[in-house]
């Protein structure tokens, strides 16, 4: 029967192969940072996104400089290539927008002076199938006057 010392010497090379080298601190930080960035990108793309109100178009409901967290899951997140405006479609939403909901949407380039596509934050006043008309600074939805104390016309 081999002695305990001999068994330890014979087992030592196998044990050395099993025990992994400890990672360097730099590598651990790099991996943690990569995971955090990936997680933040996934959350921003599919779950929730932060916005800052740049103008007074939603006063008094939203003040200039207010910060919002927008739930992208509710109406179905837009699938896009991260850090671009390239859309790949939409995920199914939990429900459709309803009148009174405040929504964020990507406005067409023609809507801004510099022809850039921007996120607009607006209130839904009508939905698919309804007709909106503006006559003499009065909004009509399906032919009936729409009265909203917050609605104003600047021109």
Q: Where are the domains of the chain?
A: 128-155
Instruction: Write the burial class of residue 78 (CB in 10 Å: 0-12 exposed, 13-18 middle, 19+ buried).
Output: middle
Digitized pLDDT (tens) for each residue of the chain, 155 residues in all: 677 777 777 766 665 655 566 779 999 999 999 999 999 988 888 889 999 999 888 888 899 999 999 998 899 888 877 777 788 888 899 999 999 999 998 888 776 677 677 889 999 999 999 999 999 888 999 999 998 866 766 65
Cα angle 57-82-107, degrees, rounded to a multiple of 5 = 25
Torsion on CA atoms 129, 139, 115, 86, rounded to nearest 10: -30
Nearest to 133 by CA among 120, 146, 150: 146
Catalytic positions are 57, 122
């Amino acid at each position: 029967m081999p002695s305990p010392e001999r068994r330890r010497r014979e087992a030592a090379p196998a044990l050395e192969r099993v025990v992994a080298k400890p990672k360097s601190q730099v590598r651990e930080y790099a991996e943690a940072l990569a995971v955090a960035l990936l997680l933040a990108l996934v959350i921003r793309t599919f779950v929730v996104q932060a916005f800052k109100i740049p103008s007074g178009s939603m006063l008094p409901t939203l003040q200039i400089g207010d910060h919002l967290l927008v739930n992208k899951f509710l109406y179905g997140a837009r699938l896009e290539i991260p850090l671009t405006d390239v859309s790949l479609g939409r995920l199914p939403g939990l429900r459709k927008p309803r009148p009174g909901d405040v929504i964020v949407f990507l406005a067409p380039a023609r809507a801004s002076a510099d022809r850039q596509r921007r996120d607009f934050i607006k209130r839904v006043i009508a939905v698919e199938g309804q007709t909106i008309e503006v006559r003499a600074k009065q909004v009509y939805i399906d032919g009936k006057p729409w009265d909203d104390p917050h609605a104003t016309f600047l021109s």
